[in-house]
Amino acid sequence: MYLREHWYVAALSAELETRPLSRQILGEYVALFRNESGQVVAFADQCPHRGYPLSLGKVVGDQLICGYHGFTFDCSGTCVAVPGQDRVPSKADVRSYPVVEQGLWVWIWMGHGAPDMESLPETPWLVDTEHWSAVSGVAKIDAPFHLLVDNLLDLSHETYLHNGSIGTPEVATTPFEVEVDNEPGVVRVFRHMNAVECPPFYSRTTGLSGQVDRWQDIDYTPPGYYLLHARIANVGEPPLPDGTDDHGFHMKIFYGLTPSTETSVYDFWALSRDFCVGESEIDQFLEKMQIAVVQEDVDALNILQRRAASNPEMTEVSVKIDRGGLAARRMLASMEEAALAI
């Protein structure tokens, strides 16, 4: 089932313009666009008249005109004009979804009730361009949402699937800790690797080489928000007791996990860093690297889904490295039970 009363990433800010974009989210087709004032708007992608996709329409000022018969809607979804008649039918309005633009991402509230603004994830690292530089992208995966959750909560796969970029042997062999916070609902996975090989992409961007201290601290807030706090520094240089860590290099790796259908998911990603801020060459390098890393995940998950579909009797064997993913599964199952009980 879909967990609808939550925020999901709907689009990259850079994707949206006055020409509408159609995206299937939680099984629903949504038309996303900017009006001529730059405001992001999201409608159900179906004209109430004959069901023609509104994403094939045209934005004029602060209105969207259906490309089939010209029904016209304001930014609230209210039908304000019907060609050939003065009266607008009371049922001609279209559903409008609450959206929030935060830096490189646009969030959408898929629930039918009022949006819970307090649960909207805070992503200051995608907004503060003075102290952080960020790149972003999106990939479509033809596999269920839960396979992406498993992938992101178990980073030991980096050693093998991403061994040419972010993966080193220590990611798979270093012990890690898992914490579950049921209020507000977060699964945390901590992996601190000390005196380990510096990954190639860090050497390229930070100037560090040889052995380093490398930390990976995951905060997964089900269903759709994942944040990896990554830190790298010279060996033996931990943060100071007051939390100051100017000698470390920090990256925030974001994933927006947005189910499209029961068997497909959007993998929105963003990388934000506090070093080499504003250097376009580093932006381009990290963007190219992350696109390749995400594609490796896409290919792997697509393969897993095809095999699972061809062999529905297949069983899984879980081991220690799956503790984070299993904790996430339990939390998601509890959320589904609570949603069904409403």
Q: What is the arithmetic mean of pLDDT over 234-262?
A: 94
Q: What percent of the chain has pLDDT over 90?
A: 90
Choose which CATH entry (3.40.50.720, 3.40.640.10, 2.60.40.3080, 2.102.10.10) describes domain 7-118.
2.102.10.10
At residue 243 the predicted structure's pLDDT band, cuts being 50, 70 and 90, is confident
Q: Are 188 and 219 in contact (CB under 8 A)?
A: yes
Domain extent listing, the chain: 7-118, 126-341
Q: What is the distance, to the nearest Å, from the Cα of residue 5 to the centroid of all Cα atoms in its chain?
A: 16
Which neighbouring-strand residues pair with 107? Answer: 9, 100
> pTM score, two decimals?
0.95
Q: Tens digit of pLDDT for each residue in 265-308?
A: 999 999 999 999 999 999 999 999 999 999 999 999 999 999 99
Distance (Å, whole) CA 180 – CA 228? 16
Identify whether 184 is preceded by a cis peptide bond (ω within 30 of 0).
Answer: yes
Distance (Å, whole) CA 165 – CA 148? 20
**Termini Cα distance of the chain:** 14
Buried b (16+ CB within 10 A) or exposed e, 67-89: beeebbbbbebebeebeeeeeee
> Which run of H or E residues covers position 206?
helix 200-206
At residue 66 the predicted structure's pLDDT band, cuts being 50, 70 and 90, is very high
At residue 214 the predicted structure's pLDDT band, cuts being 50, 70 and 90, is very high
Name the CATH superfamily for 126-341. Answer: Naphthalene 1,2-dioxygenase Alpha Subunit; Chain A, domain 1 (3.90.380.10)
DSSP E strands, 224-292: 225-234, 249-261, 264-273
Distance (Å, whole) CA 190 – CA 178? 6
**What is the predicted pLDDT for the residue at 147?**
97
Distance (Å, whole) CA 145 – CA 161? 19
User: Which H, E and C letters describe 13-65, residue by residue?
Assistant: HHHCCCCCEEEEECCEEEEEEECCCCCEEEEECCCCCCCCCHHHCEEECCEEE
